[in-house]
Structures are given as C-alpha cells and as structure tokens.
A = this chain, B = another copy of it.
C-alpha cells in the first residue's frame, strides 16, 4: 500500500470514469476518504448499494467541502455550472481537476469560477469502454493507458506533481499537453472515429432494403466493431462534438476529402491506388501493438464460438 496522496478526494459525477477511479484509488491506497456525488438519485442509490465511494453525498457542494482534490467527472457541457456551484465550498490549497474529453472548452468554462488559492489542473484519461454508469467501473481501466495533464497558465507545479502521482498510482502513463493540441489529437484518435462509427450504424439502421435483423446477424464481418464504439454514452458524446467543434470539423473535412479520393478510385477501377492505400494503413496497426496499446490476438482476443 502506498501512502495516500490526498487525504480527501471528491468525485463529482459517478459514471464509468469516476467509478473506475474510485476502485483504482482503493486498489493502491491513494486516497484517505473518497466522497462522491451524482445528480440522479438512482445513481446515488446504486453507488451506496455497491460501496462506490466511502461517502455518497446528496449535493456536489457537500461532496466537495473540505476535499484536497475535487475531480469533475460530469459531461463536458456540465463542467462550468457544477464548478460554479461548488466554488464557495472549496478549501484553500485544494486542487480541482476534471476528466473531460475536450480541454479548451472545459478550461474556458471552469477557470473563471476557480477561487483564489485553489489550483486547477485539467486532465483527460484516455480510457473507457462502451459501458456507462456507476456499475461499469473497474480498478484496471487505467492500467497502461495514457492520462494527459493539461496545466493552465500558472498551474502550481506541486499540484501538478501530486495529480500526476495519483494517475500513475492508478496505473496510467502520464504526459502533459497543451489544450489546443490535445483537442486536435483527440479529434483524430477519438472524436472523429466515434462520429463515423455512429454514422455507419445509423446508415445501417436506416436502410430499408437491408433489415435490422440482417445487420445484426451478419455483423461479424466488420460492422460489430463500429457498434461497440457507437454504443457509448450519448450525452457525453453530444457534449464532445458541440464543444470541440473546430477540430472535429477540420478532421471531418480531411476525412471526407480522403473518402472521396477512395470512392473515385473504386468508381474508376484504380486497383493500384486502393492496394497502396490499404497497405500503408497496416503499419499504424503494427505501431499500436508494439506500443502496447492493443492486443495482437485475432479479433482483440474476443471469445470465439460463444
């Protein structure tokens, strides 16, 4: 057991990310007491039942009161209002962080409400699954995944170092990045792929000449990987696209341009262009496997014959 890094941690929002943080902090003894709050009564009831958080509070302000670290784990669009609500309760010297998938917007929405003497260190753990809610979390979610810290102008180095130690203690590799670059990188590695997956699943659902039951039965040929991504939390993703609009539109523009080039090669029968393109993309996959960010087991090692 490590020595706790924070005596009191407050998790505001109790979905997949917060619940995994709780189990990961407990696994390594990183926090003394962990309080939690969720807006919905049902989520708070579930949290109490399954022992998620040492104390589940009935308001965000109550959960945040006296905490050394407050982590905002709510959808990106809710960060500003929640911060405003808890601001008066924060103890001097406390650190506020978040886990939002978009950083520029969160900084703009949260920072104006940070009281003097409170540190703000935005963060984004690059981990998740298609499941959401308080029961979806597990202690291993962050093991060997990246957590990006996005310190703002004047972030206190000691506060940044403590948060880094927390994430490393939860199993993550930590790196620092500028907010705008973060939003562009994530648009490529996460936001645009999600939008495209949602789109493809929407097309399949919508097509009159192919039934949903056919789509479902014959999904193993590639489509089912898209449906996993497109099963992620709708509120979270709505907020991501609305708040990372510029980078998303930029990458979507590049995507469409490229798709049209491939479409043209199909129409004109340019097999060499297609073959070259499909060969080039294999290298990226090899890089991901070598970097330990995915398994080389066929089909991600999904069980066969189940």
Residue tally, chain A, CB below 8 Å to B: 115
Give the complex CA separation of A275 and B237 in angstroms. 8
A162 within 8 A of B: no
Q: Are B212 and A126 in contact (CB under 8 A)?
A: no
Residues of chain B contacted by A231 (CB below 8 angstroms): 281-282, 285-286
- A220's partner among B127, B213, B221 (CB-CB below 8 A) is B127
Main secondary structure of the interface of A (DSSP, over half): helix
A3 in contact (CB, < 8 A)? no
Contact B278 A129 (CB under 8 A): no
Q: Which listed residue (B140, B216, B258, B293) contacts A219, Cβ 8 A?
A: B293
In the complex the two chains form, what is the Cα distance from A131 to B242 in whole Å?
Answer: 37
> Is B190 within 8 A of A238, CB to CB?
no
> Does A263 make an interface contact (CB < 8 A)?
yes
Contact (A216, B288) CB under 8 Å given A128-B221, A203-B254, A222-B189: yes
Instruction: Map CB proximity to B onto A178-202 as digits: 1 under 8 Å, 0 otherwise.
Output: 0000001110111111111111111
Are B188 and A278 in contact, CB atoms less than 8 angstroms apart? no
Does A229 make an interface contact (CB < 8 A)? yes
Q: Which of A85-93, A113-121, A143-151 contacts B (4 or more CB under 8 A)?
A: A143-151
Whether A241 sits at the interface, judged by CB under 8 Å, is yes
Question: Which B-chain residue is minimally distant from A173 (CB atoms)?
Answer: B217
Per-position contact with B for A252-290: 1 when CB-CB < 8 Å, else 0?
A: 101110110011001101010011011111111111100
**A171 is an interface residue with CB less than 8 A from chain B:** yes
User: Given A237-B278, A278-B234, does the pair A229, B219 have CB atoms closer than 8 Å?
Assistant: no
Apart from A146-B217, A202-B280, A205-B283, list 12 A-B contacts with CB within 8 A: A127-B220, A127-B221, A171-B305, A185-B215, A202-B258, A202-B281, A203-B255, A217-B291, A224-B294, A238-B275, A241-B274, A300-B302
4 cross-chain pairs, A with B, having the tightest CB-CB distances, nearest first: A143-B305, A129-B298, A190-B221, A234-B278
